[in-house]
Amino acid sequence: MVVGEKEILDSLQQIVGSENVITDEEDLQKYGSDQSFVTPLNPLYAVKPGSQGNVQKIILLANQKGIPVIPYSSGTNLQGAHIPTRKAITIDLSKLNKIHLIDPISRNVILEPGVTFSHLQDELKKQGLRVLTPLGVPSNGSVIGTYLEFTPLFSWPKYGPWEILTVEMVLPNGEVMGTGQMAVKAAQHPYTWTTPQ
């Protein structure tokens, strides 16, 4: 039992709407287990924010209540990364699935955590590009989630292992912080694409 559980639920429903807060234990099972050997544990609630502003409010609420948050994007992880170790709020980021930029000059993209490999590949193909393909990840896997887990790519020998160049993240106080290009919003093509000679 989490102290203030009803208050937390009410606040989450105000932020994202009751239809985007999952409370049923059976429905929560997908957020509390995977094919790993990690002991299953359902989160207290799972929430599906539809905007960065929603995420900021959820993170701030969780921080104020002293309850951990677990990010969840596509659910294709096989190593227990999204399984809580104690009661937590799982933030299902699958609705945040926009591609904000495809830069064919720098060969990089700016996208949200819910973007899958198939979605990104469909958009890249229109510009004659292709996604860096990971080993053993399904097409419905989250691009960001996969790269954050450092899943090996076929392209590593040629391009190296650094797929994430910049991040925009929500801090525990609800503020947004950017690194790299995301720290300087006016930057144009800050990264150049080169290969070994």
The yes-or-no verdict on residue 177 having pLDDT over 80 is yes
Backbone angles phi, psi at 126, to 5 degrees: -65, -20
d(CA 6, CA 87): 14
pTM: 0.86
For the residues 37-44, what does the mean pLDDT come to? 89
User: pLDDT, tens digit, for every residue of 63-91?
Assistant: 999 999 999 988 777 777 788 889 999 99
* CATH 3.30.465.10 boundaries in the chain: 99-183
pLDDT at 197: 43
> How big, in percent rounded to 5, are the helix, strand and coil portions of the chain?
30, 15, 55
For the residues 119-127, what does the mean pLDDT come to? 96
Type of residue at 186: A
Q: Report the range out of 64-73, 102-111, 128-137 with the highest average pLDDT.
A: 64-73
pLDDT at 139: 87
Q: Give, in order, the Cα–Cα distances in Å from 33 to each of 15, 78, 180, 189.
A: 26, 9, 34, 40
- CATH class of residue range 5-92: alpha beta
Residue-averaged pLDDT of the chain: 86
pLDDT at 157: 65
* CATH 3.30.43.10 boundaries in the chain: 5-92
pLDDT at 42: 93
For the residues 192-196, what does the mean pLDDT come to? 50
> What CATH code is assigned to 99-183?
3.30.465.10
The yes-or-no verdict on residue 163 having pLDDT over 70 is yes
The yes-or-no verdict on residue 193 having pLDDT over 60 is no
d(CA 158, CA 146): 19
Between 64 and 133, the more confident residue is 64
The yes-or-no verdict on residue 113 having pLDDT over 50 is yes
